[in-house]
Structure 1
């Protein structure tokens, strides 16, 4: 038995090393994904000056990405499952990179709007395709680290885009920046052609069926995971949308101090995500069930974030930063497993469809969260109630993941449990 386990461990290490180039390319793609989706916000002040755009026009342009991105989440997983994750990943990456390049050549509002819509189409491939690849080629005890790293890449992409993109636009203008970023991104495609996921899966899974949309929607575990993911996204979009405003207007930080504070919080979030994924994998390798390991991480992460948000609502000038740091730790821990759950529950054959549906529902938090926060801040004149509402959603995420999702195993799509 000892030899068998040691032999299996050796095989797992060799398999993970073989998959490492693919994982690195997926992390880079997700980083670029978040750079490209956020760069128009950096150009907004320049567009307002150059073209005299109104705030309403800028708002339409900034939201247009989510129109196609969110809508296509519900069907893109089907294309990934039918036509292959590698192929769809390459096509999606090409589409969003060319949309970025052509944004730099836009001559007016309509052209920019069209490019933002195309960008949403291309980027909608990212999570269904990457989750299917991880489900196909990684064993359960390696997915925590991989998903934690992917979650961290989202934060890194936002940070790099904000600082790097802002500097480039200030020096070379927004048009040159879009063209340069888009063209440089295309170098990823030949690398993907060379180091994409192998045709033969590393890990074998016993799936109980492909899982049609209707079969997935009948699963209690799907709605538990989708609800938990929605709550996780509410927290993330709340922080991404309003943290800078909160630090400047309520805590009276300068713009430079705000940038440092917000950047540090995202670093803490990303590192916690990687550490949490690694720790849960370690626990599973040591004999813990995936259900116990992943749910414990979710419960602790969401609970810490919820308590910290309440703390922020009542914190003094001396304690609010500590509360935000604790919230970042909780957020990183909570978001490390959102796609790991889906990859296990769906199995490799249905992962694209499951993740597409789950992510589509979860992204509706991006529509609700920022808008609701703005209404609450206008109504009360401060952030206390907004933090309390975010805490309620966050605590709801803990209950959704831990109670809404049953045993963490490949779903029998013939059952409606």
Structure 2
């Protein structure tokens, strides 16, 4: 423990910058998190051929993650309010990584289905923990940058590291896709436990930095509050976070935002190959452009939002402008229904996914709006409702994409993005912490 490091530092010292190291830790964790979500899509063609699994059962395996991930959000959020991030993240990381390694040795549909459900359930606390850590370590004016930076990790995994996993599969078989990503997660769980601490306990974080975080709205003593709130699950608390109009604005907005994301995580390759006649593998860089665009959008979002705060804009304007603007830009996906050339189709998709990335600082509003003692529970509900789209979007598109036309499905994604923008405009209102 290093509890005296901060308190004995000179009051007028230049603030240390350990919070940016924490931001890097979160970024790496998110990269690993999303690799463990996407590895099945990479291994699926060879895996299903080896095990003789038909397309219907492949769809069920793909859906297994979403069901348990959504179902465990509220319990996961409850845990975040009570278990320190150092412990909870280490345990969750290690367990979902072990389940990932075991996927490499699965030999049947049942084994694959159950293990993917396990990965989904065990990853559930991850984003509420991220929100909890950022709220503890960052002042309000830097929070969107931190959230945008670590959120970009999900697109780094999809855009840059997927080829690495594809190479692993080609050279060593589909088993190694799961074994390698799982082993990386186990190692990282150990590193997280060894390195992460709360601000007052973090070696090298001086008093000036802690004062800067606290004065800027960071909840540096949140763990102390958590120790004082060890009561069991309260239906009253759940009722509180389900009864606030402001919170429903971000809940519905997150559902709509994630609908676009899950289109790209599920149906995007099928759309390009089956409905646009592209060879997804050989198209290479062209097919990855939407993911790169989303990566740029995420980075722009955080920096732009915090720049607005530093320029004197209200928190509400600084946070909601990129989110609403990004959701409106995402509606441009409908343009793909009206063009035939491959570059124009990709341009529409890339613009839409850039908008999705630009809107991705939604967790900053969880940090700002949630009651202080219910931050984890609010984040759990937020992520639960948002990730229902992991279940509904693939199913809805499956019903809409009939015959030779994908146009109704693209229209559905565009309309959903518009509804998300309206949710933030009409329901959220003034951005301020809900006091109990």
Q: What TM-score comes out, normalization by structure 1 length?
A: 0.89
Q: What count of residue pairs does the alignment treat as equivalent? A: 400
Aligned partner of 2:319 in structure 1 is 294
- State the secondary structure of the residue aligned to 2:430: coil
Preserved CA contact (<8 Å) 1:205 1:348: no
Aligned partner of 1:14 in structure 2 is 15
* 2-structure distance, mates of 1:377, 1:13: 58
Aligned partner of 1:356 in structure 2 is 380
Preserved CA contact (<8 Å) 1:38 1:161: no
Structure 1 357/12 Cα, relative in aligned 2: closer, same or farther at 3 Å?
A: farther
Aligned partner of 2:205 in structure 1 is none
Structure 1 311/411 Cα, relative in aligned 2: closer, same or farther at 3 Å?
A: same
Task: Check if 1:369 corresponds to 2:393.
Answer: yes
Preserved CA contact (<8 Å) 1:91 1:122: no
Which deviations, in whole Å up to 9, do the C-alpha atoms of 1:1-23 show, x marking residues without a partner? xxxxxxxxx999835x2112222
Structure 1 181/390 Cα, relative in aligned 2: closer, same or farther at 3 Å?
A: closer
Task: Check if 1:252 corresponds to 2:277.
Answer: yes
Aligned partner of 1:6 in structure 2 is none
Aligned partner of 1:402 in structure 2 is 425
Task: Check if 1:386 corresponds to 2:387.
Answer: no
Task: Check if 1:340 corresponds to 2:368.
Answer: no
Aligned partner of 1:329 in structure 2 is 354
Structure 1 30/351 Cα, relative in aligned 2: closer, same or farther at 3 Å?
A: same
Structure 1 321/57 Cα, relative in aligned 2: closer, same or farther at 3 Å?
A: closer
* 2-structure distance, mates of 1:63, 1:195: 34
- Structure 2 unmatched runs, 5+: 1-10, 201-209, 230-235
Preserved CA contact (<8 Å) 2:330 2:352: yes
Aligned partner of 1:3 in structure 2 is none
* 1-structure distance, mates of 2:344, 2:31: 32
Structure 1 52/364 Cα, relative in aligned 2: closer, same or farther at 3 Å?
A: same
- How far residue 410 of structure 1 moved from its aligned partner, in angstroms, is 1.2
Structure 1 251/25 Cα, relative in aligned 2: closer, same or farther at 3 Å?
A: same
Q: What TM-score comes out, normalization by structure 2 length?
A: 0.85
- State the secondary structure of the residue aligned to 1:221: helix
- How far residue 151 of structure 1 moved from its aligned partner, in angstroms, is 2.1
After the TM superposition, list the runs of 4 or more consecutive aligned residues in structure 1 that deviate by more than 4 angstroms. Answer: 10-13, 204-211
Alignment of 1:5-404 (within 5 A): 14=15, 17-200=17-200, 202-203=213-214, 204=217, 212-306=237-331, 308-317=332-341, 319-335=344-360, 337-346=361-370, 348-378=372-402, 381-404=404-427
Structure 1 14/315 Cα, relative in aligned 2: closer, same or farther at 3 Å?
A: farther
* 1-structure distance, mates of 2:321, 2:147: 16
* 2-structure distance, mates of 1:362, 1:403: 18
Task: Check if 1:411 corresponds to 2:434.
Answer: yes
Structure 1 13/161 Cα, relative in aligned 2: closer, same or farther at 3 Å?
A: farther
> What do you get for the CA RMSD once the two structures are aligned?
2.5
Preserved CA contact (<8 Å) 2:23 2:149: no
